[in-house]
């Protein structure tokens, strides 16, 4: 085990999978010589050359289209879309082609492609470079959505995503790129669709993913000092999500708070809340509460951005409202 950043863990996963499997190749805007806008692909071009690490034109539709064709032809493409906000430029390729191909062609084709993209607020990058986009895609059968919160999870889940035969949207929160944690040097996998208890508790379940997991852990430490034991559930994968870990946790605590950074209306928290209410309505001691961003574009002004996106204090307040 060493302590490395999430960015380094992602980079290591890419190196190791390209070493293991010659059908894996990486492409996107500035991913080759520059090593990516955030540095996730640094060193890949020098190691594997032009054939397997390719810079592309500034066309997200072309990037996703290449990924689709390469996957159908038997390769394992890993495409980078620089910012998640730009996924709108290749939405048709992902939703109407990548996600549906295996179904439409009765399994004659596999679609082993990964689209990595950076999401989330915090960099003061304004409304078009700061969005949390998962709810744009959760209603699309056939597409997996992975959303790690730690370097360990990022490496294991990215390797699993590359090896999977389905299209995977791999979300990387920009404010977690420099977050550090222990990561094994050797390759390993984490099953897609399996969550993890990041902190055990007995009074309330706080269900989160990506950056909000760390805010939930901060909130749990504050609540512990006030006599409330909060269990933090990290979904790790949004689609498919781990229903069993949610049921097990909430059946114990009888209360739940769901946290995400995307706007509240139509956000993924509504799916989790609905699932809990449908399965456990008579076991709950309070309604499920959602903590999310305001229904507002992410502001460029730092103070306004902090006001719009959820904070640790918002989670603490939500938990207290259940008691």
Q: What is the pLDDT of residues 238-282, one digit of tens each?
A: 999 999 999 999 999 999 999 999 999 999 999 999 999 999 999
- Segment 130-139 shows an average pLDDT of 97
SS3 132: coil
SS3 198: strand
Instruction: Judge whether residue 162 has pLDDT over 90.
Output: yes
For the chain, domain boundaries: 2-183, 196-320
Q: How far apart are CA 263 and CA 221, in angstroms?
A: 25
Count of CB atoms situated within 10 Å of the CB of 127: 14
pLDDT, the chain, mean: 97
Q: What is the pLDDT of residues 108-127, one digit of tens each?
A: 989 999 999 999 999 999 99
From 129, 173, 214, 260, active-site residue: 129
**Which listed CATH number (2.40.70.10, 3.30.230.70, 3.40.50.920, 3.20.20.370) goes with 196-320?**
3.40.50.920
Q: What is the pLDDT of residues 195-218, one digit of tens each?
A: 999 999 999 999 999 999 999 999
Whether 129 sits among the annotated catalytic residues: the reply is: yes
The whole-model pTM stands at: 0.97
Report whether 269 contacts 261 (CB < 8 A).
Answer: no
Architecture of domain 2-183: 3-Layer(aba) Sandwich (3.40)
Q: What is the pLDDT of residues 163-173, one digit of tens each?
A: 999 999 999 99
Q: How far apart are CA 195 and CA 192, in angstroms?
A: 9
- Segment 219-226 shows an average pLDDT of 97
The pLDDT score that the predictor gives to residue 188 is 98
- Burial string for 24-35 (b: 16+ CB within 10 Å, else e) reads bbbbbbebbeeb
Q: What is the pLDDT of residues 14-58, one digit of tens each?
A: 999 999 999 999 999 999 999 999 999 999 999 999 999 999 999
SS3 136: helix
Q: How far apart are CA 255 and CA 140, in angstroms?
A: 29
Handedness of CA 90, 86, 132, 197 (dihedral sign): positive
Provide the percentage of residues in the chain whose pLDDT is more than 70. 100
3-state secondary structure string across 15-26: HHHHHHCCCEEE
Do the two domains 2-183 and 196-320 of this chain adopt the same fold? yes
Q: What is the pLDDT of residues 51-94, one digit of tens each?
A: 999 999 999 999 999 999 999 999 999 999 999 999 999 999 99
The pLDDT score that the predictor gives to residue 233 is 98
Per-residue confidence at 99, pLDDT binned at 50, 70, 90? Answer: very high
Report whether 60 contacts 81 (CB < 8 A).
Answer: yes
End-to-end CA distance of the chain: 41
Instruction: Judge whether residue 1 has pLDDT over 90.
Output: no
């Amino acid at each position: 085990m060493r302590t490395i950043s999430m960015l380094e863990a992602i980079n290591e996963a890419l190196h190791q999978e390209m070493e293991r499997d010659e059908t894996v190749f990486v492409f996107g805007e500035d991913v080759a010589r520059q090593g990516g806008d955030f540095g996730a692909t640094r060193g890949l071009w020098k190691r594997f050359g032009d054939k397997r690490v390719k810079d592309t034109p500034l066309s997200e539709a072309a990037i996703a289209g290449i990924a689709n064709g390469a996957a159908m032809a038997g390769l394992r493409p890993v495409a980078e879309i620089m910012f998640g906000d730009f996924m709108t430029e290749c939405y048709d390729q992902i939703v109407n082609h990548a996600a549906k191909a295996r179904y439409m062609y009765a399994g004659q084709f596999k679609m082993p492609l990964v689209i990595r993209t950076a999401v989330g607020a915090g960099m003061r990058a304004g409304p078009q470079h700061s969005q949390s986009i998962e709810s744009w895609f959760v209603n699309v059968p056939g597409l997996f959505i992975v959303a790690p919160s730690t370097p360990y999870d990022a490496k294991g889940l990215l390797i699993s995503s590359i090896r999977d035969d389905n299209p995977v949207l791999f979300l990387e929160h920009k404010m977690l790129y420099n977050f550090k944690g222990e990561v094994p040097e050797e390759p390993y996998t984490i099953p897609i669709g399996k969550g993890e208890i990041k902190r055990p508790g007995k009074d309330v379940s706080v269900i989160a993913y990506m950056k909000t997991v760390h805010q939930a852990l901060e909130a749990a430490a504050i609540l512990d000092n006030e006599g409330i034991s909060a269990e933090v559930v990290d979904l790790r994968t949004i689609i498919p999500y781990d229903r069993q870990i949610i049921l097990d946790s909430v059946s114990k605590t009888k209360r739940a708070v769901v946290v995400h950074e995307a706007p509240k209306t139509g956000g993924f928290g509504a799916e989790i809340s609905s699932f809990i209410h449908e399965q456990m309505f008579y076991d709950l001691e309070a309604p499920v509460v959602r903590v999310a961003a305001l229904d507002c574009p992410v502001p460029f002004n730092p103070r306004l951005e902090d006001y719009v996106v959820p904070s640790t204090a918002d989670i603490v307040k939500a938990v207290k409202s259940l008691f």
